Amino acid sequence: MLLAGGVGVRVGLDVPKQLVKIAGRPIMEHTLAILDAHPDVDEVLVLMAPGHLDPVRAMVRNGGYEKVTAILEGAETRNETTRRALDALGEDDCNVLLHDAVRPLLSPRIISDCFAALQTYAAVDVAIPSADTIIEVGPENTIRDIPPRASLRRGQTPQGFRASVLKDAYATAAQDPNFEATDDCTVVLRYRPDVPIWVVPGDERNMKVTEPIDLYLADKLFQLTQTDLPPTREPEAYREALAGKVMVVFGGSYGIGADIAKLGEEYGATVVTFSRSTTGTHVQRREDLAKAAREVMDAHGRVDFVVNTAGVLPRGSLLETSDETIWAATEINYIAPILIAQEFFPLLKATRGSLLLFTSSSYTRGRSGYSLYSSAKAATVNLTQALADEWAGDRVRVNCINPERTGTPMRTKAFGEEPAGSLLESSVVARASLDTLLAGGTGHVIDLRREDPLAAAMHETAYDDEGPRG
């Protein structure tokens, strides 16, 4: 159940906060897309603030969220909204998750863990450890108690239950004239104390948009990458998804671009690659891109996916950088994605297709010696999210991959042999790219890194004009 009954008073908006856009979509659509795509979720009920059901109906219709079986009016309180949702479930018992619509960064891992826990427990909560000391104050605004932090957790959603248990808890609560609860686990804890509530580990990113600053933080969290990749598919699922589809790859002669092209072809897509060395295509020239688009349409009649891995990495002090280098770097690293977007949007609109761009860790902060590169990559991230917003109504998806240093021939040529295991494999980046192209999300920056968090934090992605070399 997707609980979207709030009206956003604290955020200070004239529309419910769940309808505010971040990263190209209304907040609640990000949440809805996660639930709709999860394999353990069979159906989704949406409880929406009164007077705002039509935008949700349009969202479900336009987004093709087939698991949504009902869109109902929420009530004045969270508990009454839950009651309405439970009434809509009918008599059959089932596992049910209740999730705040304004937690748009929900991890699919948490959903899986909740359903797995419900195989053993009839009630499940999601929580994270408290990094802060929690104090209890009395009526005089003085400290009454300081509970030990080790035993404290910060509650999140979803909360999961056997529907029969939650219904019974609410039925008992209805007989209590002093009933008051802020969440559903509290109802079960008080009115079905015989039912243990298992705690599933949550995630710091699974934040709730409540205050004005939360809108800013959530927007930045979307921009500062997400590590939950779309699920890898079985071979037959890839073939089914790519059957009859046409993929265009710029910078596809070698490196990651070539691996994406190879993988797409292996699974049955028609892949057309363009690069300076093989086709004489300069991505910073509109006439070259227009020619590429015409060639693909003349030969295949459609374009479903466009991938741009082309880029250059000028290094050195900005004061010592020539005008020629400044223009070349800016044109290839930033102007090229803009021109690709303009030239291929009509073709992607016709197929409701997907555009995939590449950034690097340097986009989050400028670095000495990489000023042109890092600033262009920051612009590419903002371009991704702006286009995702602009094109959402036309069902064209735009996403960005942020890989850490990747082992490619160009990287080896530039930096020599590096320690085994210190680099991502190019094939891993290619598969993640393919998964992102096929997924339903838009406006995402996918953070792709190895398991070593320290090395990942220090990584720096390098490009040449054919594609990523690191």
CB 463, CB 400: distance < 8 Å: no
Domain-located, residue 214: no
Domain-located, residue 385: yes
Whether residues 347 and 412 share a domain: the answer is: yes
Whether residues 204 and 339 share a domain: the answer is: no
Whether residues 318 and 436 share a domain: the answer is: yes
Domain-located, residue 217: no
Give the span between the Cα atoms of 441 and 226, in whole angstroms: 12
Domain-located, residue 77: yes
Domain-located, residue 10: yes
Whether residues 300 and 357 share a domain: the answer is: yes
Beta strands 136-137; 143-145: pairing state? antiparallel
Last residue of a domain, one of 208, 223, 246: 208
| Single pTM value for the model | 0.69
Whether residues 180 and 297 share a domain: the answer is: no
Average pLDDT per 10 consecutive residues for the chain, totaling 470 residues? 72 74 85 93 94 92 91 88 89 94 93 97 96 92 93 95 96 92 93 97 92 84 60 84 96 88 96 95 97 98 96 85 92 96 98 94 71 89 89 90 71 62 80 90 80 39 37
Residue type for position 286: R
Whether residues 163 and 241 share a domain: the answer is: no
Domain-located, residue 224: no
What does the pLDDT read at residue 404? Answer: 78
Whether residues 91 and 179 share a domain: the answer is: yes
Whether residues 242 and 177 share a domain: the answer is: no
**Number of domains the chain is built from:** 2
What does the pLDDT read at residue 422? Answer: 73
CB 76, CB 193: distance < 8 Å: no
Whether residues 257 and 199 share a domain: the answer is: no
Give the span between the Cα atoms of 219 and 209, in whole angstroms: 10
CB 34, CB 58: distance < 8 Å: no
Residue 161 DSSP SS3: strand
Whether residues 188 and 250 share a domain: the answer is: no
Q: What is the DSSP string of 267-286?
A: TT-EEEEE-HHHH---TT-H
Whether residues 99 and 156 share a domain: the answer is: yes
Q: First-to-last CA distance in the chain?
A: 42
The CATH number of residue 152's host domain is 3.90.550.10
Domain-located, residue 221: no
Whether residues 463 and 409 share a domain: the answer is: yes
Domain range for 278 is 235-468
What does the pLDDT read at residue 389? Answer: 83
Give the span between the Cα atoms of 123 and 108, in whole angstroms: 19
Single out the residue of 251, 261, 355 nearest to residue 311, CA to CA.
251
The CATH number of residue 323's host domain is 3.40.50.720
What does the pLDDT read at residue 452? Answer: 41
Domain-located, residue 226: no
